[in-house]
Structure 1
Amino acid sequence: MRLDTPVRLGIQVQPQHAEYSAIRDTVLRLEELGVDIAFNWDHFFPLTGDPEGLHFEAWTMLGAWAEQTERIEFGTLVNCNSYRGADLQADMARTLDHISAKGSGTGRFIFGTGAGWFERDYDEYGYPFGTPGSRLRDLADALPRIRARWAALNPAPTRDIPIMIGGKGEQKTLRIVAEHADIWHSFVAPGDLAHKLDVIARWGDEVGRDVSDLVVSNELTRGTPDLEHADALYDAGVRLFTLGISGPDYDLDAVRGYLAWRDAKNG
């Protein structure tokens, strides 16, 4: 796995329980602080707290983030493949790539994606929920179409848009990771990462892809920074660290603590 890349910090600004103005201002503050990536999530309702609380949609929000920011990368942690056709997802991603390319000429969008899991989203918006297996098959079918659409679009993306895939299932998800992902995201404990990475490597051999450049991503502990846990993840090969923050206040104290830890790791 890719161990020579700098440690990066991504903050998931969960689009729940806050007015959009608070979300917008938080993204600006994260860029000012030096965070590497701003994420949201692709759901239609809050996942914690009041289930009927304030909430906003992911992809339209990302268009605003692409325009309002200058340096920070951004994306969904993660997109739900079920909600939009593969070719439409590709075109949306390419458009965000270009919107965010102002100044440098290179886009900053990261295409984080997964199979979906939150049944209420499906039921209330009229999408067939299926089974975990059917949703993973849909994701596996979508990714080659997305790549093919990127190759056909005019103008093409400004860069090879990084693909982040979330999940840890060994029989299906990690095969998809081995075949398509630039970044693998999970919540796997430090002691279990070596086994999962071995599974990915074996799937890479089977699908004919060298996975040595795969960047490993994982979730940091919320609240007071747990630097011992962060160190254990780092030692296990994680180089992209993510932290979720929720409205209405979007407290950035933990973000500052983890930024100091990141900077110390990067020397």
Structure 2
Amino acid sequence: MRLDSPVRLGIQVQPQHAQYTAIRDTVLRLEELGTDIVFNWDHFFPLSGDRDGLHFEAWTMLGAWAEQTERIEFGTLVNCNSYRGADLQADMARTIDHISEKGTGVGRFIFGTGSGWFHRDYDEYGYEFGTAGTRLTALAHALPRIEERWAKLNPPPTRRIPIMIGGKGEQKTLRIVAHHADIWHSFVGPEEIAHKLDVIARWGEKDGRDVSGITVSNELGRGYDVEHADALYDAGVRLFTLGISGPDYDLDRVQHWLRWRDGKNG
């Protein structure tokens, strides 16, 4: 895996319990602080606190972020494959990629995606929930169509849009990771990572893909300390994500982990 790459910090600005002005200002402040990536999430209702509280839709927001920012990469952590057709997802991603290039010729969008899990989203918005297995199968079928659509679009994406896939299931999810992902995101502990990477490598060998360039991503959960982060780093993690929620987005935690990142990068 990408052990020679620098440590990067991605902040998930959870679009809940805050007015959009607070979300926008937080993203701009994160760019000023030197954060590498900003993420939102692809849900329709809050996941914590008041479950009927303030909340905003992910992809519309990404278009605004593409215009509002200059340097930072951005995306969803993660898009739900169930909510939009594969070809539409590809076209939306390509369009946001172009919006974000700002005259440099290279976009900044990261296509984070997954199979979905939040039952309320499906029920209230009229999507078929199915099973974990059917949703993963749908994701496996969608990704080749997304990649094929990117090759057909005029104009095409400004770059090979990085694909980020989350999850740890060894029979389906990690095979999808091995076949398509540039970034593998999970919440597994440091002691599990080597085994999961071996599974990805074996799937890659079976599918004929070199997976050595995949970046390993993991979460800096609330309560995680530097010792835990160091252990993740030693296990191969190079992208660390941190979630912050409204109404008051805590940037003190962000600055703590930015200092840690900078120490790792020398």
Q: Decide: shared fold, TM above 0.5.
A: yes
2:239 aligns to what? 240
1:167 aligns to what? 167
Give structure 2 stretches of 5+ with no counterpart: none
Amino acid at match of 2:11: I
The alpha carbon displacement at 1:60 in A equals 0.1
Aligned-partner Cα distance in 2 for 1:217–1:260: 18
Structure 1 stretches of 4+ with a deviation exceeding 3 A read none
Aligned-partner Cα distance in 2 for 1:106–1:212: 24
Amino acid at match of 1:64: A
The alpha carbon displacement at 1:105 in A equals 1.6
1:219 aligns to what? 219
RMSD, aligned CA: 0.7
Give the 3-state SS of the residue equivalent to 2:11 in structure 1. Answer: strand
Taking only the aligned residue pairs, the percentage that are identical comes to: 83
Give the 3-state SS of the residue equivalent to 1:259 in structure 2. Answer: helix
Give structure 1 stretches of 5+ with no counterpart: none
Amino acid at match of 2:261: R
The alpha carbon displacement at 1:190 in A equals 0.5
Give the 3-state SS of the residue equivalent to 1:184 in structure 2. Answer: strand
Aligned-partner Cα distance in 1 for 2:206–2:189: 26
Pairing 1:1-267 to 2, within 5 Å after superposition: 1-222=1-222, 226-267=225-266
> After superposition, what is the alpha-carbon deviation per residue over 1:118-172, rounded to whole angstroms, capped at 9, x for unaligned?
0000000000000000000000000000000000000010000000000000010
> After superposition, what is the alpha-carbon deviation per residue over 1:158-202, rounded to whole angstroms, capped at 9, x for unaligned?
000000000000010000000000000000000110110110001
Note if contact 1:112-1:164 (Cα within 8 Å) is conserved in structure 2. yes
> After superposition, what is the alpha-carbon deviation per residue over 1:2-50, rounded to whole angstroms, capped at 9, x for unaligned?
1111100000000000000000000000000000000000000000001
Aligned-partner Cα distance in 2 for 1:70–1:226: 31
> After superposition, what is the alpha-carbon deviation per residue over 1:195-242, rounded to whole angstroms, capped at 9, x for unaligned?
10110001111111010000000000325x611111000000000000
Aligned-partner Cα distance in 2 for 1:256–1:68: 21
Note if contact 1:81-1:114 (Cα within 8 Å) is conserved in structure 2. yes
Give the 3-state SS of the residue equivalent to 1:75 in structure 2. Answer: strand
The alpha carbon displacement at 1:103 in A equals 3.0
Amino acid at match of 1:209: R
Amino acid at match of 1:49: G
Aligned-partner Cα distance in 2 for 1:114–1:62: 17
Aligned-partner Cα distance in 2 for 1:167–1:179: 14
Note if contact 1:222-1:254 (Cα within 8 Å) is conserved in structure 2. no
